[in-house]
């Protein structure tokens, strides 16, 4: 399957029925698995068998989703999680602990920002935020002896900044740390960060991957390229969790034993085992169902989004539009380079008249839904100032880049003329 085209991988990747088997990926809805003898179970506990024992540690349905995500991202292995939040959390906990330092772009998803700035800080992990537009040398200048990862989002949610992945990969390489890229809003249909040097890719599969608003989920994919044996200035291994004996597995060395699948194997065997952030088989099935049409959906999403962005950008009642696919946008060049098929389907815009006008516009929309969600087949809008960021003062909202009248829009798959007509009639009313 590796040598097939992306569309073929979407449709056939990871699960193909053999003669007499179900054509669709089966939902294996069982917590546990039966064995005839204890020796087989012992092998499972020693990670010497690919079979299953207990659904917290994986199931055939979830395995298939992980393999499909790895295939689509040009990675070597994948690990599905209960949500995008847990994907980012365990990707970092796999390689760092209290006392370590991580460098992250500032323009990231609010939930991830909170996780990094508040919750992980309480765990003793120091996440330092940087402007993603500084040079590779300036990024490297933030390195400390205990720096263990560099993090960014391909397409920042909701800032809609585009990450210069090659620059970040260069900086990570110089610092001797992996580059972790959250590819949620771009999806592998528009950008595959591993092709540009990312070591680990994370996803909230809740958004475009599922695409139909049915299942919260996440996934971590590894490139298989990072050398976890790397040492610091004193000759100590920088990633002992990956490349030194693990006491909870009789001294097993994950990197030595699992090589280019070591990162995801440890995620499953240690972090998902201990934290329990497993994806349920039903959610894996529904997400897999969504991925089968990912390529065609994204093609239509970006086509509609570009046209809607141009329409709004030319409308006299609109102050400004941020969409990296618009010529003249701050990130237009990066978008053309990293997402040549289109800059995703999420944009933000501000209606003239500030907050009151923004709220009125949303209430006048009939086809588009007000939802706390992006990446859905249905056109979705959200007014951050009165919802996700409502607890902040207007000053604090502005500091976070949230203009009081700002609306975040995720363009769906309806007929383009109908989406535009919906905005047209709503704009006429304000």
Ligand X SMILES: *Cc1c(COP(=O)(O)O)cnc(C)c1O
Nearest to 15 by CA among 71, 89, 53: 71
Angle at the Cα of 382 (from 366 to 153), degrees rounded to 5?
135
* 152/239 with CB nearer ligand X: 152
- Cβ closest to ligand X, residue 111 vs residue 176: 111
Does position 218 bind ligand X by CB under 6 A? yes
Q: Are strands 200-204 and 179-182 parallel, antiparallel or unpaired?
A: parallel
How many residues sit close enough to ligand X to count as binding (CB under 6 A)? Answer: 16
For 170, residues 6+ apart whose C-beta sits below 8 A from its C-beta are 136, 197
Question: Which region, judged by CB under 6 A, interacts with ligand X, from 57-65, 82-90, 237-245, 396-404?
Answer: 82-90
Contact between 423 and ligand X per CB under 6 A:
no
| Nearest residue to ligand X, by Cβ distance, number only | 84
Q: Which of 72, 89, 109, 228 binds ligand X (CB under 6 A)?
A: 109
Give the single-character DSSP code of 248: G
Applying CB under 6 A, the span of 80-88, 144-152, 189-197, 388-396 interacting with ligand X comes to 80-88
Q: Output the DSSP codes for 157-209.
A: TTT--B--HHHHHHHHHHHT--EEEE-TTTHHHH--GGGGT-SEEEEETTTTT
Stretch that binds ligand X, among 59-67, 104-112, 262-270, 353-361 (CB under 6 A): 104-112
Q: How far is the CB of 103 from ligand X (least distance, A)?
A: 17
Q: Which residues contact 220 (CB under 8 A, 6 or more apart)?
A: 78, 79, 81, 87, 90, 91, 200, 201, 202, 203, 263, 264, 267
Question: By CB under 6 A, is residue 85 in contact with ligand X?
Answer: yes
DSSP per-residue string spanning 351-382 = ETTHHHHHHHHHHH-SSSEE-S--S-SS-EEE
Which x/- pattern over 284-303 shows residues binding ligand X (rule: CB under 6 A)? --------------------
CA proximity to 143, closest of 178, 171, 163, 115: 171
Nearest approach in angstroms of CB 230 to ligand X is 27
> Smaller CB distance to ligand X: residue 168 or 254?
168
Q: Please state the closest distance from residue 213 (CB atom) to ligand X, in A.
A: 12
Asked if 84 is part of the footprint of ligand X (rule: CB under 6 A), the reply reads yes
Q: What residue has token string 């497993």?
A: 278
Contacting residue, 112, 187, 215, 368, with ligand X by CB under 6 A = 112
Which x/- pattern over 145-184 shows residues binding ligand X (rule: CB under 6 A)? --------x---x------------------------x-x
Of 83 and 313, which has the nearer Cβ to ligand X? 83
In terms of CB distance, is 203 or 300 closer to ligand X?
203
Integer Cα distance of 84 and 82 in angstroms: 7
Nearer to ligand X, 184 or 304 (CB): 184
206 near ligand X (CB under 6 A): yes
Q: How far is the CB of 368 from ligand X (least distance, A)?
A: 19
Closer to ligand X by CB, 83 or 104: give it: 83
Between 74 and 202, whose beta carbon lies closer to ligand X?
A: 202
55: its two tokens: 């659904």
Nearer to ligand X, 109 or 423 (CB): 109
Q: 3-state DSSP call for residue 102?
A: strand
Name which position in 26, 111, 354, 401 contacts ligand X (CB under 6 A): 111
Encoded tokens for 417: 């003329």
Contacts of 223 (CB under 8 A, 6+ apart): 74, 75, 76, 194, 198, 199, 200, 201
SS3 category, 80? strand
Please report how close the Cβ of residue 381 comes to ligand X at its closest, in angstroms: 16
What is Dmax (Cα atoms) for the chain?
A: 74
Considering only the stretches 7-15, 81-89, 318-326, 330-338, report the one whose residues sit in contact with ligand X under the rule CB under 6 A. 81-89
In angstroms, the CA 318 to CA 311 distance is 10
Return the number of the residue (218 or 281) whose C-beta is nearest ligand X. 218
Q: Which strand ranges, in their side-by-side order, compose the sheet holding 147-153? A: 77-81, 218-222, 200-204, 179-182, 147-153, 101-105, 126-130
Between 214 and 253, name the residue whose CB sits nearer to ligand X. 214
Q: Which residues bind ligand X (CB under 6 A)?
A: 83-85, 109, 111-112, 153, 157, 182, 184-185, 204, 206-207, 216, 218
């Amino acid at each position: 399957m590796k040598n097939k085209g992306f569309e073929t991988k979407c449709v056939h990747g990871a699960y193909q029925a053999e003669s007499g088997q179900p054509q669709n990926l089966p939902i294996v809805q069982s917590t546990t698995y039966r064995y005839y003898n204890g020796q087989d179970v012992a092998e499972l506990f020693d990670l010497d068998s690919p079979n299953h024992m207990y659904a917290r540690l994986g199931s055939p349905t979830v395995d298939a989703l992980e393999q499909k995500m790895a295939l689509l991202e040009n990675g070597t292995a994948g690990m599905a999680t209960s949500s995008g939040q847990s994907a980012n959390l365990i990707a970092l906990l796999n390689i760092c602990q209290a006392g370590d330092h991580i460098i992250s772009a500032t323009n990231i998803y609010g939930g991830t920002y909170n996780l990094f700035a508040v919750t992980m800080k309480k765990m003793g992990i120091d996440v330092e935020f940087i402007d993603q537009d500084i040079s590779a040398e300036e990024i490297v200048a933030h390195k400390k002896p205990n720096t263990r990862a560099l993090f960014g989002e391909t397409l920042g949610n909701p800032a809609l900044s585009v990450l210069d992945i090659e620059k970040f990969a260069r900086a990570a390489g110089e610092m001797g740390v992996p580059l972790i890229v959250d590819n949620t809003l771009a999806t592998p249909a528009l950008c595959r960060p591993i092709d540009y040097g990312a070591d680990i890719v994370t996803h909230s599969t809740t958004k475009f991957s599922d695409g139909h608003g049915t299942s919260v989920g996440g996934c971590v994919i590894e490139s298989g390229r990072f050398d976890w044996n790397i040492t610091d200035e004193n000759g100590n291994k920088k990633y002992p969790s990956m490349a030194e004996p693990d006491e909870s597995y009789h001294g097993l060395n994950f990197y030595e034993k699992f090589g280019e699948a070591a990162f995801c194997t440890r995620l499953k065997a240690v972090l998902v085992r201990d934290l329990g952030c497993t994806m349920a088989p039903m959610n894996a099935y529904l997400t897999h169902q969504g991925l089968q049409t990912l390529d065609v959906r994204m093609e239509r999403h970006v086509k509609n989004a570009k046209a809607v962005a141009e329409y709004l950008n030319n409308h006299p009642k609109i102050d400004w539009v941020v969409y990296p696919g618009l010529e003249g946008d701050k990130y237009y060049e990066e978008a053309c380079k990293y997402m040549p098929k289109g800059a995703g389907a999420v944009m933000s815009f501000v209606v003239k008249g500030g907050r009151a006008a923004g709220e009125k516009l949303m209430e006048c929309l009939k086809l588009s839904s007000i939802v706390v969600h992006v990446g859905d087949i249905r056109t979705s809008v959200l007014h951050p100032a009165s919802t996700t960021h409502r607890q902040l003062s207007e000053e604090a909202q502005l500091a976070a880049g949230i203009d009081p009248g700002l609306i975040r829009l995720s363009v769906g798959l309806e007929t383009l003329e109908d989406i535009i007509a919906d905005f047209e009639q709503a704009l006429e009313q304000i």
